[in-house]
Amino acid sequence: MEVHHHPNVEKKGFKEYFLEFLMLFLAVSLGFFAENIREKISEDSKARELAESLYQEIYADSVNMQVKINLRLEKEGQMLYFKRYVLDSNLTELPEKFFPSFTWMGVLTSSSLFEPNDGILSQLRNSGSLRYFKSTYLQDCISRISVAIQNAKERNAQEYLFVEQFMRPFVLKYYDFNWMDDFTQEGKLSLLEALKQQNYHSKVKPAIQNMPDFKRKEVAGLIAYYLVVVRSTRQIHYKAYVEKNHELLEALRSQYGFTSEQKTTHNN
């Protein structure tokens, strides 16, 4: 009978098992850390991309807001002139400035409303992409400007409702649209372009329509109240937006190093 001898199998010691475990552990750990680093780089890249788009949107709105504020300041000055004139001046022999002032006051309305552009902000909120911004302060700035935008939109709606209910009927009753046709060169110029004309002299002598119904004190009171509405929009709601806009721009510049020069170059 043959006797089979099993080969001697060398048993691994504790050190060998520990070394294998350690190598496996390091491999898994390095893979985990590498994946985390890859995800962090990807998230940082995505955050910067979103931040740049947001910066461009907010920066463009800051420029647009300044344009609207300048328009409103001009409008407020023209309204003040119109109100004072109708109280005690000649309403049949009108100065050449009167109907341009009437146009600023009653016809040029929606052009002076600031409509904030919040496309990127809405995308950030609705997609959950705000999580890419790790700065709590930056997230707070975004929340505050979102509130300011909503308040500005609601105020615009209130101001426009006042225009539709009170100013539009007033203009339709007393404004001389024949004069406006001449003033805008039969529609070749927008109202803003026409108002910027230098040395304009009308071929049409304008007149207040329906003069028997034009009551000086009533008209002055209506314009005075409209002036309060227009000023309040600028001084309260638009001012609040400007502050939050500046705050967010500064936060983005601090976090990502954006500059206004970089913005201009990017657009060009």
Domain holding 241, by residue range, is: 14-267
CB atoms within 10 A of CB 18: 11
Angle between helices 216-232 and 136-162 in degrees, nearest 10: 170
Residue with token string 């309060």: 228
pLDDT score recorded for residue 244: 97
pLDDT score recorded for residue 129: 78
CB atoms within 10 A of CB 261: 8
Per-residue DSSP letter, 121? H
**Residue 105: inside a domain:** yes
In sequence order, the 6+-apart residues with CB closer than 8 A to the CB of 221 are none
Distance CA 67, CA 200 (A): 24
Q: In Å, what is the CA distance from 15 to each residue of 11, 18, 19?
A: 11, 5, 6
**Residue 165: inside a domain:** yes
Distance CA 214, CA 86 (A): 10
pLDDT score recorded for residue 38: 52
**Residue 2: inside a domain:** no
**Residue 130 corresponds to which tokens in the numbers above?**
């705000």
Distance CA 13, CA 227 (A): 92
Within the chain, strands assigned E span none
**Residue 3: inside a domain:** no
**Residue 260: inside a domain:** yes
**Residue 72: inside a domain:** yes
pLDDT score recorded for residue 26: 62
- In three-state secondary structure terms, 207 is coil
Q: Consecutive 10-residue runs of the chain (268 residues): their mean pLDDT?
A: 54 64 64 54 67 92 96 97 96 94 94 91 81 87 94 96 97 97 93 89 92 96 97 97 96 87 48
**Residue 199: inside a domain:** yes
Q: How many domains does the chain have?
A: 1
Distance CA 254, CA 260 (A): 13
pLDDT score recorded for residue 202: 83
pLDDT score recorded for residue 266: 47
